[in-house]
Amino acid sequence: MATDDDAPPADETPIQRALRLKQAALDAKPKPPRGGRFQRERAAAAQSSSKSKPWLSR
């Protein structure tokens, strides 16, 4: 399954290898849809609660 393109560089440190493997694992995980109902609901909740917190506005 591994091709020559996936081969790590010969001078890769253990930390670089761990980070590369971690990124590959994160990329393989399914991601939630972007810009859906959840994001709109969170934005609306943040907007409505900001009226009672004037110290948070700039």
pLDDT band for 5, please (50, 70, 90 cuts).
low
Using CA atoms, how far apart are residues 27 and 23, in angstroms rounded to an integer?
Answer: 6
Query: What is the value of pTM for the model shown?
Result: 0.39
Cite the DSSP H helix spans in 1-58: 14-28, 37-49
Give 32-43 pLDDT, tens digit per residue: 777 788 888 888
Distance CA 9, CA 50 (A): 50
CA distance 45 to 49: 6
The two three-digit tokens of residue 19, written as one number: 């980070």
